[in-house]
Amino acid sequence: MSDLLAQGQTPEAWSEQLGAHGVHVSPRLIRTKARETGQFHKLGRLMLLTPAQMERLIESASDEDETPARSLR
């Protein structure tokens, strides 16, 4: 069985799993970040993310936090 089928989870499942560890992230935010970065699989209307994709989402979010804001001129 492939990693996607064995380990892939919906944004709702990831949100619930993270919440159990005290990290509150909405499924909507996970979906939005996944679309922005292309880190997801889509089967019809179903969105699935593997653990590796979730790690990349978290890394990309931390990279954004470290990027200094640019001022408007």
Give the Cβ contact number of residue 37 at 10 Å: 14
Higher pLDDT, 71 or 28: 28
Outline where DSSP puts E strands in the chain. 41-43, 46-48
The pLDDT of residue 72 is: 45
Average pLDDT over residues 54-65: 83
Domain of residue 48 covers: 3-64
The pLDDT score that the predictor gives to residue 28 is 97
- Residue 70 counted as domain residue: no
Classify residue 51: in a domain, yes or no.
yes
**What is this structure's pTM?**
0.79
Q: What is the DSSP letter of 47?
A: E
Name which residue leads in pLDDT, 50 or 72: 50
Question: 72 lies in a domain?
Answer: no
